């Protein structure tokens, strides 16, 4: 007689892509009429904007652009001028034609922005963009569960807590603000960038609630001709209705991105900001899976059909704040602006650990001791290590948090920045489970068969002992008044039938 187990579907998400793409974009920028000729290029700033995500037949395409501002000192010695442009980009990840439905999460990152003079009227602008693509497809896995079985059949059931990606989506919203630059009147905006940060997130049953801020950074020229900066922290609080209710162990991973940015300067330093943001989320939830791992009967022959349950399990999540420090030797002066651009980590496996190299770039604009406006840059590289099992994968990403700083020190200009490093350890976890039983004819018990008195072998569990001796775990526990596994070499009475 064949006894088939019941099959129920467990919905989860399978990551088909989790990779970083990089692209370098360039453009020749011609000065508009009315601006003085270029003496020297001083600095360049950039803001990455994510415009679209498209799922095609056999690939996923992400597009957007970089808003670029270039500051230069005119040849005639007049006040610094700024010109701006837009550099479009497009990135592609190949996917199987069988995967035509899913969620695209993208974290775009500006790796560098620089420029150089081509002629008195032309500037070559260059920007490096990185994009971390996380592409998830819905999947159903079949869980086999035992129903009613004959009394003589013993089942070994075990419960596995497994953290799985269960739901994904995105929440779009707009920051619409009226702001005022404090202090000296702003004559001209030179650049404006915004850095979204998530500070708190919570999955509450059927809702995702998150808070954060958009950190707006301005570089402007005041009426006296000096270059100044100003920062605004623009808090936001959002919630998103989820497709299903999740348990108390559920947690959310969010990837914010800027989708649009407009800023207008009116009189007396008044600003009108409109910024589009998208928070792309995935909800990971813990499922308790009760699976049958073994079965036997002391009164009949029995064959077990086993299957392997493969799950995209999340084994661990690690968040760490990393401080970046660097020195520009021999440099000093009054700092006008400092930018820190961290890149995506490079990962290396060595034995039972994973090592991450986290590169970054500091860019500083300052008035030197001779009051000349000067720009300098310095590269930084951090390292971080995590334990890594043979069958596990670790995915690490980094994002800037807070504002970088620069100060004059004894050895030069001391630069500091902050990175939020996130590492997630995953594995295609395989768990054996019984799917069916083939039961032979039931045999009558032997009334003359005596009970056994045995010394429990070291390391042998009660299940293995009961199966070997033709008894049951419950019968051994009752006969020996056990509440847990017996000690090694303990003498046990084994009832048999």
Residue 391, pLDDT score? 72
Per-residue pLDDT reduced to its tens digit, 457-484: 787 888 998 898 888 999 889 988 888 8
Residue 111, pLDDT score? 95
Q: Where in the chain is the domain with CATH 3.10.350?
A: 445-497
Residue 448, pLDDT score? 64
Could you please state the CATH topology (level 3) that the domain comprising 445-497 is classified under.
Membrane-bound Lytic Murein Transglycosylase D; Chain A (3.10.350)
Relative to beta strand 412-439, strand 302-329 is antiparallel
Residue 451, pLDDT score? 74
% of the chain with per-residue pLDDT over 70: 98
For residue 372, give every residue at least 6 positions away whose Cβ sits within 8 Å of its Cβ, in sequence order, or none: none
% of the chain with per-residue pLDDT over 90: 68
Three-state DSSP string of the chain: CEEECEEEEEEEEEEEEEEEEEEEEEEEEECCCCCCCEEEEEEEEEEEEEEEEEECCCEEEEEEEEEEEEEEEECCCCCCEEEEEEEEEEEEEECCCCCCCCEEEEEEEEEEEEEEECCCCEEEEEEEEEEEEEEEEEEEEEEEECCCCCCCEEEEEEEEEEEEEEEEEEEEEEEEEEEECCCCCEEEEEEEEEEEEEEEEEEECCEEEEEEEEEEEEEEEECCCCEEEEEEEEEEEEEEECCCCCCCCCEEEEEEEEEEEEEEECHHHEEEEEEEEEEEEEEEEEEEEEEEEEEEECCCCEEEEEEEEEEEEEEEEEEEEEEEEEEEECCCCEEEEEEEEECCCEEEEECCEEEEEEEEEEEEEEECCCCCEEEEEEEEEEEEEEECCCCCEEEEEEEECCCCEEEECCCEEEEEEEEEEEEEEEEEEEEEEEEEEEECCCCCCCCCCCCEEEECCCCCCHHHHHHHHCCCHHHHHHHHCCCCCCCCCCEEEECCC
In this prediction, residues 269-289 reach a mean pLDDT of 95
In this prediction, residues 139-157 reach a mean pLDDT of 92
Residue 184, pLDDT score? 67
Tokens read off for 24: 């370098």
Q: For residue 115, give the nearest of 105, 107, 126, 104 by alpha carbon.
A: 126
Question: Binning pLDDT at 50, 70 and 90, where does residue 390 land?
Answer: low
Higher pLDDT, 348 or 402: 402
Per-residue pLDDT reduced to its tens digit, 73-95: 999 989 899 999 999 999 999 98
Q: What is the CA radius of gyration of the chain?
A: 32
Tokens read off for 165: 């990606």
Alpha carbon 314 to its chain's center: 12
For residue 244, give every residue at least 6 positions away whose Cβ sits within 8 Å of its Cβ, in sequence order, or none: 166, 167, 206
Per-residue pLDDT reduced to its tens digit, 409-439: 888 899 999 999 999 988 888 899 999 999 9
Average pLDDT of the chain to the nearest whole number: 91
Residue 285, pLDDT score? 95
What are the backbone dihedrals phi and psi of residue 411, each rounded to the nearest 5 degrees, phi first? -100, -10
Question: Binning pLDDT at 50, 70 and 90, where does residue 408 land?
Answer: confident
Residue 112, pLDDT score? 95
Per-residue pLDDT reduced to its tens digit, 149-161: 998 899 999 999 9
Residue count of the chain: 497
Relative to beta strand 122-145, strand 103-117 is antiparallel
Per-residue pLDDT reduced to its tens digit, 164-208: 999 999 999 999 999 999 876 788 999 999 999 999 999 998 999
Global confidence as pTM: 0.90
In this prediction, residues 268-285 reach a mean pLDDT of 94
């Amino acid at each position: 007689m064949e006894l088939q187990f019941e099959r129920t579907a467990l919905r989860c998400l399978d990551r088909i892509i989790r990779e970083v793409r990089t692209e370098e974009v360039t453009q020749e920028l011609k000065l508009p009429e009315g601006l003085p000729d270029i003496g020297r290029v001083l600095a360049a700033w950039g803001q990455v904007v994510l415009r679209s995500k498209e799922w095609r037949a056999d690939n996923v395409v992400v597009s957007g652009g970089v808003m670029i501002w270039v500051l230069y000192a005119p040849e005639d010695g007049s006040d610094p001028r700024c010109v701006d442009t837009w550099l479009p980009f497009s990135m592609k990840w190949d996917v199987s034609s069988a995967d035509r439905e899913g969620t695209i999460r993208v974290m775009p990152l500006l790796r560098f922005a620089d420029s150089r003079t081509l002629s008195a009227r032309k500037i070559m602008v260059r920007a490096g963009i990185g994009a971390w693509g996380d592409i998830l497809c819905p999947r159903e896995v079949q869980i086999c569960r035992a129903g009613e079985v004959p009394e003589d059949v013993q089942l070994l059931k075990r419960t596995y807590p497994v953290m799985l990606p269960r739901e994904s989506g995105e929440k779009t919203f707009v920051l619409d603000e009226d702001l005022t630059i404090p202090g000296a009147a702003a004559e001209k905006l030179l650049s404006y960038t915004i850095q979204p940060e998530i500070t708190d997130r919570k999955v509450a049953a059927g809702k995702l609630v998150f808070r954060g801020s958009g950190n707006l950074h301005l570089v402007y020229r005041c009426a006296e001709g000096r270059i100044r900066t100003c920062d605004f922290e623009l808090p936001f609080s959002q919630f998103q209705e989820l497709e299903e209710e999740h348990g108390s162990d559920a947690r959310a991973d969010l990837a914010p991105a800027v989708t649009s940015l407009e800023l207008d300067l009116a009189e007396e330093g008044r600003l009108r900001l409109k910024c589009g943001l998208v928070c792309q989320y995935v909800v990971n939830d813990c499922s308790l899976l009760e699976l049958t791992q073994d079965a036997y009967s002391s009164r009949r022959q029995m064959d077990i059909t086993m299957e392997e349950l493969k799950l995209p399990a999340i084994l661990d999540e690690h968040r760490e704040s990393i401080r970046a420090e660097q020195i520009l030797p021999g440099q000093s002066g009054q700092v006008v602006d400092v930018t820190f651009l961290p890149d995506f980590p490079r990962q290396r496996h060595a034995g039972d650990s994973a090592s991450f190299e986290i590169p970054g770039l500091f860019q500083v604009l300052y008035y030197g001791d001779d009051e000349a406006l000067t720009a300098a840059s310095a590269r930084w590289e951090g390292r971080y290590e995590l334990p890594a099992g043979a069958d596990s994968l670790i995915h690490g990403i980094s994002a800037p948090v807070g504002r970088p700083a620069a100060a004059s020190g004894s050895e030069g200009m001391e630069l500091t920045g902050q990175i939020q490093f996130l590492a997630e350890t995953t594995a295609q976890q395989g768990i054996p489970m019984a799917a069916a039983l083939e039961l032979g004819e039931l045999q009558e018990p032997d009334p003359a068969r005596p009970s056994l008195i045995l010394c429990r072998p070291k390391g042998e569990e009660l299940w293995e002992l009961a199966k070997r001796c033709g008894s049951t775990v419950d019968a051994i526990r009752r006969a020996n008044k056990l509440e847990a596994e017996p000690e090694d070499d303990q003498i046990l009475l084994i009832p048999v039938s």
